[in-house]
Structure 1
């Protein structure tokens, strides 16, 4: 019998405590346990927190990673499912992917609609996530995000719709696979994965997203505040307005780690343009490049990397 632990953190995929047994169960979904048990899966619920996704923090995410790591060390556990609010689900999933080093599946899911709304999708997503966490096909794939019958790598999953039940996608790469009835169909596996061993993370990392014609005030405020790191979502494949370059140079001169992420949320950073502010200027200034990561994930990665090293410049090993 396979055993899956469902770790609850809160969010729209609401849970309640069964008054008879004291166990956590999905709202109006006690029957899901019986359905999945009949398929050879034993389910246990484990409460970590009860927070909306917008209240969850990276510090709590690192605590969650340690909690899951301890659960996975139990030889009787096949895999772990994490239920999470969708607002910051992709950030927590990516943090877990970078800090958990196990062959067993860890699957993050949630619901686009609350349990009181028509078309509540929480039970379907939870049932799918449990099946994925119990599947042999998903071992050694890192942390996965399961939503609307699709399986995504944590590094690729992004929330792309505010209210649709198909709230998540993987721009540029697509899903790793699908859940169809009782079958797990894996099309491919994550090409590159990274593990950052760290006991703590650096919280003082800012994220800045400039728009057309934006001035550099936010960047200069971050420098004045002596933050440890700054992530900037650059235009295109790595370009900034020329009037931002002096402030970026000032930040790097003060040993503040500046990481550039694509504003598109996906794709490599590189170009061959020769004008001021293009990729060659950013490379000359010694910034980090967060290829294929949106700014939110790049910030998580930089927070973890800064927490893992003694000298800020050593984070470059995590940003090849």
Structure 2
């Protein structure tokens, strides 16, 4: 049997609802140990408790600590690693791992939308399926995968789409990379690995700004004045911005602060299509970096890591083309 290590980091999958307050909060970090008899039907599973944090408490430093441990386990005798995580920032941690883990062995991240003592708790089921995927030979070389609700998603494309539904994790435009049945793990397509970035605790401060109708450049100027080393802007449509945002963008570029442009839309890519003030063509000519299909939070993670390598715009752009 394959040897799979489960690393727990907290989140709803390790929480319980209080009978008194009816609030959901962290409980014993070893609570998931009771699932081991089910997990060991599919692999030789060991469980290690790394953190017991709600996912809004996870920072890029915790992502680094987790990635370092995953890399170490994969370099030794583990055939795959499963990470349990809170769902609010799960896609960011998954993408961080996807960018820095160089080993081809499977890495799977999962969690739960319902706490352990809620009716219909989905955590144990997701965990069993994650171990099955991590033990699957075909899952090698696909980077970090997210397993939820009988579906397998790429870390690059998956996003949380609903506040409470168990089917919250979706890959807009592409759909899941694979499905899980009672007997089989079925992949629909090949997944291409992105350029691997250094495994480090990123120090660069990167702002994430979402554009909306009538916005000006106040937040961009604030980021510049506050010492941010990078900015990600979620633009309108195919990559267009209100004209009043442009002076702040010019100020940031003059200070050689890289700006990555993504769309606030769930589907599609930013493109230099529209040729008007604030349109994508002007933004491209100004020197903004167009991200290839990433959402804002993931582009921020990638820019933070890439800035550990270079702050040269041309070099940074190569990381966002794939």
- Fold match by TM threshold 0.5: yes
- Give, in whole Å, the separation in 1 of the partners of 2:122 and 2:196: 32
Report matched runs for 1:88-107 at 5 Å. Answer: 88-107=89-108
- Give the CA deviation at 1:198: 4.3
Contact 1:59 1:201 (8 Å CA) reproduced = yes
Distance 1:292 1:137, change over 3 A: same
1:158-178 CA distance string (max 9 Å, x none): 000111011100001110101
Q: Secondary structure of 1:13's match? A: helix
Change (3 A) 1:158 1:12: same
TM-score (norm 2): 0.91
The residue matched to 1:90 in structure 2 has which SS?
helix
2:259 corresponds to 1:258: yes
Q: CA deviation at 1:113?
A: 1.1
Task: Render the CA deviation track for 1:68-116: whole Å, top value 9, x for unaligned.
Answer: 0000011x31100000000000000000000001110000000011112
Match of 1:36 in 2: 39
Give the count of matched residue pairs.
Answer: 310
- Deviates most, 211-220 or 193-202: 193-202
Question: Structure 2 stretches of 5 or more lacking a match?
Answer: 17-27
Query: How far did residue 317 of structure 1 move?
Result: 2.5
Contact 2:101 2:199 (C-alpha < 8 Å) held by counterparts: no
**Quick one: structure 1 residues 164 and 23, their matched pair in 2 at CA, closer, same or farther if it must change by over 3 Å?**
closer
Q: Give the structure 2 partner of residue 181 of structure 1.
A: 182
**Conserved? CA contact 2:204–2:230, under 8 Å:** no
Corresponding residue for 1:61? 63
For 1:10, the equivalent position in structure 2 comes to: 10
The Cα shift of 1:310 comes to 6.4
Contact 1:262–1:294 (CA<8 Å) still a contact in 2?
A: yes
Q: Secondary structure at the match of 2:294?
A: coil
Is 1:318 aligned with 2:319? yes
Distance 2:62 2:114 in 1: 24
Match of residue 279 from structure 1: 280
Shift of 1:36: 3.2
What are the ranges of 5 or more consecutive residues in structure 1 without an aligned counterpart? 17-21
> In structure 2, do the counterparts of structure 1 residues 311 and 284 end up closer, same or farther at CA, with 3 Å as the change threshold?
closer
1:299 aligns with 2:300: yes
Given the two structures, how large is their TM-score scaled by the length of structure 1?
0.92
Residue 15 of structure 1 and its aligned partner are, at CA, apart by 7.2
Q: Hey, what's the Cα distance between the residues in 2 that align with 1:23 and 1:224? A: 41
